[in-house]
Amino acid sequence: MADINKRVGKKIRYYREKKRLTQEALAFEADLHRAYVGQIERGEKNIGIQNLEKIAKALNIKASKFFAD
C-alpha cells in the first residue's frame, strides 16, 4: 500500500512543479492544508478519492494521470 502512496505522491509533486505551484498554493486551490499536501507528496498519507479529485481539479488535470506510468 505504501508503494502506491509514494507513486501517486511523486506524480502530484511532478504536476504541481510543472505548473510552478508551491505546496501552499496547491493546498489553497484544492482547499486542503499545506502540511497535508506535503505528506501526500512524500507518500506518508493515504489520500482519499475526494481529496485526490480536489488536487486534480486544482492542477487542471484528470485524476487518472496520477496512476499512469
pLDDT for 18-44, tens place per residue? 999 999 999 999 999 999 999 999 999
In a domain, 21, yes or no: yes
Count of the separate structural domains present in the chain: 1
Give the domain CATH number at 24.
Answer: 1.10.260.40
The set of cell numbers assigned to 27 is 493546498
Note whether residue 69 is domain-resident.
Answer: no
| CB-based contacts of 67, cutoff 8 Å, min separation 6 | 7, 8, 11
- Mean pLDDT over each residue of the chain, to the nearest integer: 95
- Identify the band that residue 1 occupies on the pLDDT scale cut at 50, 70 and 90: low
Residue 34 placed within a domain = yes
State the residue range of the domain holding 34.
Answer: 2-62
Q: Do residues 52 and 20 touch, judged by C-beta distance below 8 A?
A: no
